């Protein structure tokens, strides 16, 4: 969430929480604002999950406090006993998010030296107002759709650039592979996944794994390209083999779109492998190493394409 956007929501939720608590003539009205501040998080789902946990944490904290103050009076020792009981229970119940705000509410009981029902209702109301307004503020989240769409284009262009660089190297035999394009694509994919995970956590009711799995698929493809780059650096293929493999790289680069099933590419690789198997066996060490390199590059390219095919078959209705 951008800093300015989050700041505005914090200010609005906090001020409204304090104002509403004051209008309802609740004691310690500013505490509702503090709870609102703690409850405005980066995503809708995180806010909802935290608010739910803090609600149960508040009930637990008030219940333990009532018992401790009833038995031992409104003394510091009773408050210490409350902490000794409540904190371990909160950790065991995964309610740690509520330890600080709930303990603040309990200090109000200590300050007022009362555990009357109206005061308990006052504390619960402070929590509900603060957490409720924070949830309302988090109903609005800026759409990430355009940013995700832009990442799709960047990633596909990045993959295309790498494949075309492979093509250039095989055709000309000129230049070395410093993997700069692959490293840059790694950074782009990492940032894309960060945005996608954030967007997914803002989809409370209508969630889809499409975007997550799309960029994870592209990450896996980029790792394959990294392995291929190392082999291409040192490969000494014959001109005919280099030309055929280079052609496959260009063909693959032209069919990277998320809406392309890529079945045709798999067929092209299989046809080339079938033809290549009919050639005479290598007679020298160099021929053997060349043949092994070619096979490995072809199988890596096949794995690269198969990842796309599998993804398309799984998500073709959402592409």
* Domain residue ranges of the chain, discontinuous segments joined by +: 3-137, 145-315
- Return mean pLDDT, the chain: 82
Query: Rounded to two decimals, what is the model's pTM?
Result: 0.62
pLDDT tens figures, 155-185: 999 999 888 888 888 777 665 656 788 889 9
Closest C-alpha among 140, 137, 133, 108 to residue 121 = 108
* Residue 82 pLDDT grade (very low, low, confident, very high; cuts 50, 70, 90): very high
Question: What's the CATH number for 145-315?
Answer: 1.20.120.940
C-alpha count within 13 angstroms, C-beta hemisphere, residue 54 = 31
E runs forming strands in 142-266: none
Whether residue 205 is predicted with pLDDT greater than 50 in this model: the reply is no
Contacts of 292 (CB under 8 A, 6+ apart): none
Residue 51 and residue 173: Cα distance in Å, rounded? 61
Eight-class DSSP state of 307: H
The answer to which of 9-13, 18-22, 228-232, 282-286 has the lowest mean pLDDT is: 282-286
- The C-alpha atoms of residue 294 and residue 253 are separated, in whole angstroms, by 19
Rounded to 10 deg, the angle between the 76-92 and 44-72 helix axes is: 140
- Looking at residue 71, what is its pLDDT? 92
d(CA 15, CA 134): 11
- Give the model confidence (pLDDT) of 281-319 as tens digits: 767 776 677 677 777 888 888 899 888 888 888 876 555
What pLDDT, on a 0 to 100 scale, did the predictor assign at position 254? Answer: 82
User: What's the pLDDT at 66?
Assistant: 94
């Amino acid at each position: 969430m951008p800093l300015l956007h989050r700041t505005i929501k914090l200010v609005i939720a906090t001020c409204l929480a304090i104002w509403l608590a004051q209008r309802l003539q609740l004691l310690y009205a500013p505490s509702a604002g503090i709870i609102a501040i703690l409850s405005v998080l980066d995503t809708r789902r995180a806010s909802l999950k935290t608010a739910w946990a803090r609600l149960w944490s508040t009930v637990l904290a008030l219940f333990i406090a009532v018992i401790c103050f009833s038995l031992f009076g409104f003394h510091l020792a009773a408050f210490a006993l409350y902490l000794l009981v409540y904190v371990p229970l909160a950790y065991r119940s995964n309610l740690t998010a509520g330890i600080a705000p709930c303990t603040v509410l309990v200090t109000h009981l200590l300050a007022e030296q009362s555990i009357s029902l109206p005061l308990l209702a006052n504390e619960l109301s402070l929590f509900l107002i603060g957490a409720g307004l924070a949830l309302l503020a988090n109903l609005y989240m800026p759409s990430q759709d355009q940013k995700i769409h832009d990442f799709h284009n960047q990633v596909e262009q990045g993959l295309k650039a790498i494949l075309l660089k492979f093509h250039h190297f095989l055709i000309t035999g000129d230049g070395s592979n410093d993997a700069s394009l692959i490293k840059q694509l790694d950074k782009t994919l990492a940032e894309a996944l960060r945005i996608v995970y954030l967007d997914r956590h803002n989809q409370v009711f209508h969630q889809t794994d499409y975007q997550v799995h799309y960029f994870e698929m592209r990450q896996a493809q980029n790792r394959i390209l990294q392995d291929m780059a190392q082999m291409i650096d040192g490969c000494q293929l014959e001109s005919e083999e280099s030309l055929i493999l280079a052609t496959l790289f260009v063909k693959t680069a032209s069919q990277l779109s998320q809406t392309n099933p890529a079945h045709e590419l798999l067929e092209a690789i299989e046809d080339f492998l079938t033809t290549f198997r009919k050639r005479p066996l290598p007679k020298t060490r160099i021929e053997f190493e060349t043949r092994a390199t070619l096979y490995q590059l072809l199988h890596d390219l096949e794995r690269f394409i198969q990842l796309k095919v599998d993804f398309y078959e799984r998500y073709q209705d959402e592409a």
